[in-house]
Structure formats: structure tokens, C-alpha cells
A and B are shown apart, each in its own frame.
Chain A
């Protein structure tokens, strides 16, 4: 029964708002600390790669950003599914809040990929399978946000974009697989040549810590956006009036 109380609290906008307000500073603080440590570890402490020299350090932003762009899409789809199945407004608000953050992470991954490509291959863009899949993921995000923007009624927009997110998340592995298939046919240059197991520990820990830092940053930003979403959606409710005054 205690789980149900927890679940009901999760569905209640004022509760979630309060939770978000209390925890955001802590999460944001933890994110900042992790980021500083990870950056120090990656940019200063880690030895340079024997092939790429210092250029490989781009991985410390590129890889976590890419992982996060995927993780956020999945989170968005899960929130959307919860909103559809249990008809929870808060879940729909969370999904809406995720989308712009995820899209920006995708842009960051693409941007850092391009900056990495220049010293590596002399060109700003290469049809690396990961970069290509990131690009398609960006289109998925933009489609989601476009659908939300294109539907007038907010409830309908919630449900339609939720459906799209769920369909999209099922397609993501299929898209990744097909892009890798395409890549195997055409042997395009790859940007990130090092696999995780072959990486030196000194190079690896800042990478993982950076991922944690980005994840915490996403959580903090999500909570901030979620608060704004809840305020906007529930602006006529009494709890909002109390919070604002």
C-alpha cells in the first residue's frame, strides 16, 4: 500500500513541484562538482592518446553527450508511456520538459563530433555511423517537438506526442542497426576509434564521471523545466496561487 501512496504522490503536481524545488540545488551542485573533477581528469590528468594526441579529449564531451541524448529520449518515451497508460498529467509534463534538453544534447554531440572530425580527418562532417544515427535522433526530437507545437489542444498534443515518442523509441534500435549495416557496406571513417575496454583506466574514469555529471545536470535541468511546465499547465489551480504569492 505504501507503494501506491508513493505513486499517487508522483501523480500530484504540487507534490512533484515541491520535490523538484527542494532537490534541484543539491542535484545541480553535485553535477557541477562532478563536471569539474571529470574535466580536470580528462583534460589535465589523462595521458594523451598515442595516435590522436590531444584531439581525443573531445571524447569527454562528445561521448557522454551522445549517451545522454539517447538516455533522455528513452526517459521521454517512458514518461510518455506512463502518461498514456495511467493518464498522469505530470508524466506528460515531464516528457515535454525532456524534449528540448535531449535535443540540445544531440546538437552538442553532433557539434563536438564535427569539431573532433576536423583535426582527425580534415573535414567537419564524416558519415560516421554514430554521427549519422545522432542526426536521425535529432530529427526524431524535432519531429516530437514539431508535433507538440502543431496541435492546438494541450491534451491532444500530450497524447499524440506520447504515442510518437513510444513509436520512436521502438524504432531507435532498428535505426541504429540499419545505419551500422549501411556503414559496413561503405566503410566510412569512424570518429571514435577507441572502444571502452581498450581504454586506459586513467582515460576511462573521467569519461564515466563526465557521464554521471551530465546525467545529474540533465536531472537538475529537467526538474527546473518540469516546475515551469507544471506552473504553466496548472496555472488556474489553487496550489499555484499559493506558491506564487
Chain B
């Protein structure tokens, strides 16, 4: 359902992505591994459509992701290095706005997602007062709420304790169980209980 073919991308001088190709079917998780600077973040952003590759194509459901951009984005949840949260709003308010612009969500839905990621207890404090790990839990609740089929996660376990890391693995497993696709950039390989797991090493040359 997701296919990346011959992606070439330069960031300034550097030829960061050199003909990256892979595909993913529902229920599959693709782990991107590689050293710092290998291009994991760049690849995720290119798939999301935030960066324009010089060559190559990203296809979603058989159509070019760029030409069906809005439909593609409505089925996509992207979580970058920094959780995209407004510091002056509470976790709950953040989710109400960031998910609300995508689809209608009820307060109960938000509550359920926050509980699932263990963020409910601090959901009503301003995000700027939360620790990095707490913010990530709020952001993960956002990914859950988006109802997206494709998850693009950039180092999702950063700043999380052992429980948190297990949570991420479980959430990914559940997403795969829903016939979703996950592409995640990780430093240490994740172990998943179920679902198809593929690894793509970047910067191997």
C-alpha cells in the first residue's frame, strides 16, 4: 500500500538519500536503522511530503502521494523528534485542537487515548511544565487519536522509560493488528510480538 521507489534527495551538498526503495503492506512495520546523519529523518519527511525528492516517487494506494496529497495526509500521522505541542496549552487542549482540525473527536475519545498512553494524570497541566517523557506520552495519544492508517515515527522511544518503551511497542503491535502500517526510525531494534517486521538500514554505503 505504501511504496517508495528510487528516492534521491540532497540536503545542500550532501546526497542524503541514494535511491532508497522499499514497500510496505497493511500489518507491516518497517524499521529504519542507521547511524546519526544516515538519513532516517530525511526519509520519513520525504515520505510525509514535507521534503521534495529530486528523483523517485512515493506511492500510497497505488497513486502518487504528491498528487493525492490531502487524501494521503488524512491517512497519515507523523511524529517527529520533538512532540508537536504548544507549551502554553494543556495536553488535553493540545489534542483537542490538533486532532480537531483533522476529524471530530469527543472529550471521551481524548480521555481514552490519554489513559491508554498513561498521560491522563498530567493531561491538564500546561505542556511546558511537563518532562520530555511526559510530553512524548501526550504526543503518542495524539497519534492514536488521529485514526491514521500510516504512522511515520521518528525515534518514538526517545525520553521514555522502560515502561514507555514497552508501550510504544504495544501501540505499534495494535496498529499493525488494525491493518495499519508503521515506518519507524529507531536506534535500537524494537521487538514486536506480532505483525510483519522489516528492517531497512540506511547510509550503508
Contacts from A to B (Cβ < 8 Å): 87, 152-155
Contact = CB atoms under 8 A, between A and B. Distances in A.
Nearest to B51: A155
Among the interface residues A87, A152, A153, which one has the most CB atoms of the partner chain B within 10 A?
Answer: A153
Nearest to B11: A153
8 contacts: A87-B52, A152-B12, A153-B11, A153-B12, A154-B12, A155-B10, A155-B52, A155-B54
Interface of B: 10-12, 52, 54
A100 to B, nearest CB: 22
A132 to B, nearest CB: 39
Nearest to A154: B12
Contacts of B54: 155
Contacts of A87: 52
A154 to B, nearest CB: 6
Contacts of A154: 12
A127 to B, nearest CB: 43
Contacts of B52: 87, 155
A154 B12 CA distance: 6
A176 B11 CA distance: 39
Nearest to B10: A155
Contacts of A155: 10, 52, 54
Nearest to A235: B13
Given A155-B10, A155-B54, 6 more contacts: A87-B52, A152-B12, A153-B11, A153-B12, A154-B12, A155-B52
A50 to B, nearest CB: 61
B24 to A, nearest CB: 26
Contacts of B11: 153
Nearest to B52: A155
Nearest to A152: B12
Contacts of A152: 12
A155 B54 CA distance: 9
Nearest to A159: B52
Nearest to A87: B52
A218 to B, nearest CB: 30
